[in-house]
Amino acid sequence: MRPIVAIPTGLAVVVVSFFLTLWAYDKGAFDVFLNCPENMNVGKPITFAADNACSAKLLASGWAPVEKKGVWSIDKNAVLRIPTTRWPSGNVKASFDMIAYTSGFIPGTQVVTVSANGQELAQWSFTIGKAPPSTSLVIPRKRSNPLDITFMINPTINPKARGVSDDPRDLGINLSAVTFTAAD
């Protein structure tokens, strides 16, 4: 049986893409793009603080609610989802203003491995009594939009289990801000 109306393949793809975009918009996938344009500019720090609702939208998974100053990771993997539509076409440097829980609270070392869309870019060790490492890295020119930056923290530390405080969360890093700048 022959179809009554033949739809060109290219048109079918456009129609399907349009409806998928509407579905994603309905689910809130574009909120950070539409309502928080400051989060997409290179050169301007993105602060993670309770008074910046836009930054909370970049926390994809593994994070506690944003606090007055910063946001704690509460899982072994914490993901930032960053829109890159306004980024330059070259390499981009990411500078993170962050501490690990061991930095000033618990003896020991926490290792933070950072990847962007699955490609490992840096590994930092935070040890009490030692200067914190430089927490900057270069994100290669070839990247997707949005970009998932994953922090893999080993180990996370439960302050309550260690007898340090009543906080029952498994803490890794506290992220205060991130700044993206052109690296080329």
The domain locations on the chain are: 1-35, 40-182
Residues in the chain: 184
pLDDT for res 59? 96
Query: In sequence order, which residues have a C-beta less than 8 Å from that of residue 168 and are 6 or more positions away?
Result: 158, 159, 160
CB atoms within 10 A of CB 86: 13
pLDDT for res 19? 45
SS3 content of the chain, % helix, strand, coil (to 5): 20, 35, 45
pLDDT for res 184? 72
Euclidean distance between CA atoms 94 and 124, whole angstroms: 14
Which CATH entry fits the domain spanning 40-182: 1.10.10.10, 2.60.120.260, 1.10.357.10, 3.55.40.20? 2.60.120.260
Euclidean distance between CA atoms 129 and 103, whole angstroms: 8
Euclidean distance between CA atoms 14 and 2, whole angstroms: 23
E-only strand ranges, the chain? 46-47, 59-61, 71-72, 77-82, 92-100, 109-116, 119-127, 136-139, 147-154, 173-182
Average pLDDT for consecutive 10-residue bins of the chain (184 residues)?
A: 57 44 42 51 87 90 95 97 86 94 75 95 92 93 88 94 91 95 86
